[in-house]
Amino acid sequence: MNNIRKACVEAIFREFEDHGDAIRPAYADGWGEIEARRSLGHITGLMDIDVTDLVDIVIDTINKEL
């Protein structure tokens, strides 16, 4: 179970780093206003989170790990 959790966290951070659609700035090109802190497991700043896309990332990751 711990491996699945780690894989899901990594997938979410990768989505952010790739400037995907699930996590994006709340306005225009505000990518510089969002900060990812892997060591803390946090992504902070003014952002728009598409919950459906985020859930899809988690489900896809779980399916790959099983």
What would the pLDDT profile of 16-50 be if each residue is shown by its tens digit? Answer: 999 999 999 999 889 999 999 999 999 999 999 99
Please check whether residue 8 is in contact with residue 61, taking contact to mean a CB–CB distance below 8 angstroms: yes
Look at residues 44, 34, 2, 66 and name the one whose alpha carbon lies nearest to residue 10.
Answer: 2
pLDDT at 63: 97
pLDDT band with cut points at 50, 70 and 90 for residue 2: confident
pLDDT at 7 over 90: yes
pLDDT at 60 over 90: yes
pLDDT at 36: 94
Query: Dihedral, CA atoms, 2, 21, 35, 5, nearest 10 degrees?
Result: 0
